Amino acid sequence: MADEVILLDYWPSLFGVRTRIALEEKNKKFVYREQDLCNKSALLLEMNPVHKKIPVLIHNGKPVCESLIQVEYIDETWPGENPLLPSDPYQRAKARFWGDFINKMLPGLGKLMWGTKGEEQEEGKKEFIEMLKTVESELGDKTYFGGETFGYVDIALIGFYGWFDAFEKYGNFSIEAECPKIIAWAKRCVKRYSVAKSLPDSKKITELVPELKKKKGIK
Amino acid sequence: MADEVILLDYWPSLFGVRTRIALEEKNKKFVYREQDLCNKSALLLEMNPVHKKIPVLIHNGKPVCESLIQVEYIDETWPGENPLLPSDPYQRAKARFWGDFINKMLPGLGKLMWGTKGEEQEEGKKEFIEMLKTVESELGDKTYFGGETFGYVDIALIGFYGWFDAFEKYGNFSIEAECPKIIAWAKRCVKRYSVAKSLPDSKKITELVPELKKKKGIK
């Protein structure tokens, strides 16, 4: 049987982009199905009944949920081309640690983007910058997080990059001034076909934010 | 070189117990080093500079942080005895999904145990029960989460079991009345040597709670 790979996703998602990149790294053709999150499809509710969230990767009819779990699944299912996780257990544990750490940046980003103006937003910005500096010190002067090879941790973080302009605009700060090595790394990542093809347009995201704020009832 | 395995831990930790069980499942001897979390050791700060939290697994001098990452590391490093994760990528992804889901129960439990009395505590209790029912429906009538084999998801959840009495006492409810299958499963798990040896005493934990509340400044 030929592989049938479907991705239920929403174009600005910083999670969905991770899965798109992982599939591109494996040269895996997939059917992309844009989801309306205000009116969730029966397929989405059936495939992710627990969280009811995108992205959902459906491989031969079976759903895999949570973006970093999808990235590991993709790597284990199609191991040949461009390994995304290192083969050494210790290096794998390190990669998972940083993937988890990057996921832990989300509450801060949530406050920065959707929190009440003033104190809460400032707190979110502070949290985000502090954590991004920690991630930057892990990157150091390496090309990618895993050294010379683009992989799991790069995928975990680059998903945020399409949102950087929006973070900067709404937080009124410069990520490059705070974390220049992260910006240099992101520019290297974008040179990869998988990333360039998958990342949503920053400008479109920044334009979308007022609409999302309105939907969330944020002034 | 003989393996040197050290675990920096704190006896009531619902995370540390996961790692202890995984090591026992592999019949792996380790040196247990109790940590004083009010006065963190130089070793803990050196080995987990990012989170400064227990448990930290130190294998031949190299630290692995975050309990579920430690469980995967243990399984990959000593794969022979009692595999903890399934070998099939899809089943592995499912196990990781439920491990992640169980970790997501913590904010609710935090509110239940350490939140302000009344509304916040009730909200935490409600969240916890709802999520535990979801976990119970995944378990269904199986012996363990993975079927007949004790593994990763069992380890993720059984870590909470030592705290069940405390949750019930401070939340004023019965987990068995809400989720009878979970209690039956937990009793099966406790029959395993690895779990019986590693789980902290429920009574001691319940007695410890007023002291922890005092330390946290909660009335």
Residues 6+ away with beta carbon under 8 Å from B187: none
Q: Which residue of A has its CA nearest to B64?
A: A93
Taking the CA atoms of A125, A126, A131 and A133 in sequence, report the sign of the dihedral they define: positive
For chain A, residues classed under CATH 3.40.30.10 are: 5-77
Q: Which residue of B has its CA nearest to A90?
A: B73
Across the interface, whether the CB atoms of A73 and B90 are under 8 A apart is answered yes
Across the interface, whether the CB atoms of B96 and A50 are under 8 A apart is answered no
Nearest by CB: A89 against B66, B77, B134: B77
Residue range B89-215 in CATH 2.30.30.100: no
Across the interface, whether the CB atoms of B96 and A66 are under 8 A apart is answered yes
Pairs of CB atoms within 8 A across A/B: 53
Across the interface, whether the CB atoms of A66 and B134 are under 8 A apart is answered no
Nearest residue to A82 via CA among A28, A144, A161, A26: A26
Q: How far is A172 from chain B (nearest CA, A)?
A: 27
Model confidence at B219: pLDDT above 80: no
For chain B, residues classed under CATH 1.20.1050.10 are: 89-215
Are A21 and A33 spatial neighbours (Cβ–Cβ below 8 Å)? no
Phi-psi region of B126 (alpha: psi -120 to 50; beta: other; left: phi over 0): alpha
Across the interface, whether the CB atoms of B65 and A96 are under 8 A apart is answered no
B residues 127-166 closer than 8 Å to A (CB): 134
Q: How far apart are CA A153 and CA A159, in angstroms?
A: 10
Q: List, for residues B128-182, the tens digit of each pLDDT value.
A: 999 999 999 999 999 999 999 999 999 999 999 999 999 999 899 999 999 999 9
Q: Starting at the edge strand that comes first in sequence, how are the strands of the sheet with A56-59 ordered?
A: A31-34, A5-9, A56-59, A62-65
Q: In a structure prediction context, what are the per-residue pLDDT tens digits for chain A, which is 219 residues long?
A: 679 999 999 999 999 999 999 999 999 999 999 999 999 999 999 999 999 999 999 999 999 999 999 999 999 999 988 999 999 999 999 999 999 999 999 999 999 999 888 899 999 999 999 999 999 999 999 999 999 999 999 999 999 999 999 999 999 999 999 999 999 999 999 999 999 999 999 999 999 999 999 888 887
Interface residue of A19, A56, A75, A94 to substitute, partner B, most B CBs within 10 Å: A94
Nearest residue to B144 via CA among B153, B156, B135, B132: B153
**Does A70 lie at the interface with B, CB-CB under 8 angstroms?**
yes
Q: List, for residues B90-127, the tens digit of each pLDDT value.
A: 999 999 999 999 999 999 999 999 988 889 999 999 99
Q: How far is B164 from chain A (nearest CA, A)?
A: 23
Q: How far apart are CA B44 and CA A152, in angstroms?
A: 27
Beta strand ranges found along chain A (DSSP E) = 5-9, 31-34, 56-59, 62-65
Across the interface, whether the CB atoms of A92 and B100 are under 8 A apart is answered no
3-state secondary structure of A55: coil
B residues 90-119 closer than 8 Å to A (CB): 90, 92-93, 96-97, 100-101
Length of chain B: 219
Q: How far apart are CA A196 and CA A144, in angstroms?
A: 16
For domain B5-77, give the CATH number.
3.40.30.10
